[in-house]
Amino acid sequence: MSREILLGDEAVGLGAIHSGMSGVYAYPGTPSTEIFEFVEQKTKKAGNVHAFWSTNEKVAYEEALGMSWAGKRALVCMKHVGLNVAADAFMNSAVTGTNGGLVLAVADDPGMHSSQNEQDSRYFAQFALIPCFEPKNQQECYDMMFEAFDMSEELALPVMIRLVTRIAHSRAGVQTKSAREQNVLNPSRDIKKWTLLPSNARVQYDHLTEKQPELLRRSEDSPHNELVLTGRKGIITCGLAENYLRENISNGDYSVLSIRQYPVPAEKIRRLVDHVDELLILEDGYPLVESMIRGLFGLAGVKVMGRMTGEVPRTGELDPDIVRESLGLDPLPSAHNPAEDLANRPPALCKGCPHTDSFRALNEALNLFDNAQVFSDIGCYTLAALPPLEAIHSCVAMGASIGMAAGAAHAGYTPAVAAIGDSTFSHGGITPLLSAVQQGVNLNVLVLDNDTVGMTGTQRSMSTGTTLDQIILGAGIEKEHMRIISPTPKNHDSNVEILREELAHDGPSVIVARRTCLEAIKRA
C-alpha cells in the first residue's frame, strides 16, 4: 500500500513474495538475475522464503516443480536461453500439471544486449500449451504475479510471465498491496499425474489439451487484452510495444488491440481484422502474433504489416523511434546529428582480472601451434575474444566449450582446448567432461576458477575451490593431469610451462586457474 521504486525484475520478485510464494529458484542470467536477488535480500531476515541459487535452470525448474508438488507456491526465474536448458522439465511440467502455484518468469533479451540470441519465450508458452502474461510496465509486473499464481492454482498449470530487457531493467514507482499467506505443506497424492509413464502421460496430455478452451476463454475475457475499435487502420501491440505506440500517437484514429495475456485472443483479433483495412503488428521479439495472423497464405482483404514485411525491422529491439517510423511519422527534430566515427568504448575485463593472466599464459603456450583456436563459454571471460587478448574463438551455449572441443578432437583437430568458468562448469561443463574422460579424448580444459559468477554481479558459484577439484577428479581426470595454477603476472612463465606440459599430454587433462575475482573481493 506504499509506492516503491522497483525494477521490473524487482516488481516480479515483490509480487511473488506478496502472492505468498514459499520458494524462489534461479540461475543468474541477464536480464533476469535481479528477480532472485531481490527476493533473497528482501526475505533474508524473515527467512520464510527458500532462496538459494540453483546449479542451472533445469535444476531450478525441477526444484520449483517439487515445491509445487508439495502444495506450496514457487517462482522460477531465468533468461530466455536458460529456458532451453530447463525445457525438458518445463515441457513435461505442463503435462503433469501443478499442485501449489508455479510461475515461470522468463526475461527475454531482444536486441541481444547480453545474450547470444533473441529467441522469444512466448513460443515456449505456446509450445507447452500454458498461459503467458506479458506486462507492459513495472506495475503490471507486480500485479500480474498475483493473477499468475491464482491462475496456476485454478488450472493446475505452470504459468509464464514474459519480460523483456526494457521492463526487467527499468525502474518506476509501483503501488504495492498487502502480502497474503503462504500455502501449508500439502503434498500431491495424485501419483499417476506425476508419473509420466506412457499410459499416464497420454491421460495427462489429454487433460492439458482439454484445458485449452478455458485458457482461450480467459484470454478473450482478460482486461489485459484491450480492444478499441475506431478507425479503419488497425494496430496490434504485444506487451510493452503499447507504450511505444502511445508515445507517438494520442488520438483515436487507429483501432488498437493490446495483447498482454496469451494464448492469443482469437475472437478479439477477428473483430479487429473485420473492422480494418490494414493492420500493423508491433511485437518486441519474434513475429509470433504476426505469423499466426498471416498464416501461410496471408489474410484476404487486409494488408498485414510488421516484422515480416519490413515496416518493422525483422530483428532487434523495438523502441519508440522504430515504432514512429513504422507509423509513417517524420522523425522529431533534434539538436544535433548523430556523431560519426565516434570512438567505441567496448566492455573489457577489469584491470588486474585473473582471466587476463590466464589467457596471456594460454596465448603464449599455444604459440607453438599454428593458429590454434580455443573453444570457450559464457561469462566475463568471453570478453577475451576481443582485443587485446583475442584468446578465444567460440561462445555458443553454457558448457558447450568442452563438448565442442571433444567433437573437434574426434575429427582430428589438435590441440583441442576448452576454456570455461567455474560456475559455467557446474552449470553445463561436468557432463561433457565425464563423456570426454570415458572416451579418453585428447583435450585440455582450462577452468577459470574465480570463485564467483562474475558477469552477472558476483553471485555464488556452485563448484569452486576444493568442490571443483573433487568434481574434476570424480569425473575421472587422472590426478597428475589435474593441474592448479595461480594466474598472476609473476607466475606467467611457470603457468605457460604447465600449460605446455598438459598440451603435450595425449589424453584428457584439466588445468584449474584459480584466483578470486577482484569484484567479488570488493563486494565481500
Partner 1 sequence: MEKNIILAGVGGQGILSIAFVIDNAALDAGYEFKQAEVHGMAQRGGAVQSNLRYADHEIYSDLIPKGAADMVLSVEPLEVMRYWHFLKPDGWVVSSVTPYVNIPDYPETEQVLNQLATFPHCILVDGGQIAKAAGNLRAQNMVAVGAASSQLDFTEDQLLKYVEVLFKRKGDKIVEVNQRAFRYGRAAGLFFRGLVDAGMEIPDALRLSQKIAPETYDPALAADWVGYAGSDGSALASVMASEETIACDQIPTRT
Contacting positions for partner 1 (CB under 8 A)? 3, 5, 30-31, 33-34, 113-114, 137-138, 166-167, 169-173, 240, 242-244, 246-248, 319-321, 324, 331-339, 342-350, 380, 383, 455-457
Hunting for cell 491464482 — which residue is that?
150
In sequence order, what DSSP letters do the residues of 237-280 get, joined into one string?
A: EETTHHHHHHHH--SS-EEEEEE-EES--HHHHHHHHHH-SEEE
Give min distance, CB of 337 to partner 1, in A: 6
Single-letter amino acid code for the residue at 405: A
d(CA 514, CA 503): 19
d(CA 445, CA 84): 24
d(CA 120, CA 280): 19
Question: Looking at beta carbons only, is 47 or 331 nearer to partner 1?
Answer: 331
Contact 259, 289 (CB under 8 A): yes
Helix, coil or strand: residue 91: helix
Helix, coil or strand: residue 233: strand
Question: Looking at beta carbons only, is 126 or 170 nearer to partner 1?
Answer: 170
d(CA 410, CA 404): 10
Q: What angle in degrees, to the nearest 10, is found between the helix axes of 80-96 and 198-210?
A: 100
Q: Which residues are paired to 77 by β-bridges?
A: 26, 105
Q: What is the 3-state secondary structure (H, E, C) of 407-451?
A: HHHHCCCCCEEEEEEHHHHHHHHHHHHHHHHHHCCCEEEEEEECC
Question: Looking at beta carbons only, is 239 or 428 nearer to partner 1?
Answer: 239
Question: Looking at beta carbons only, is 246 or 505 nearer to partner 1?
Answer: 246
Question: Looking at beta carbons only, is 78 or 215 nearer to partner 1?
Answer: 78
Question: Looking at beta carbons only, is 226 or 267 nearer to partner 1?
Answer: 226
Question: Looking at beta carbons only, is 102 or 419 nearer to partner 1?
Answer: 419
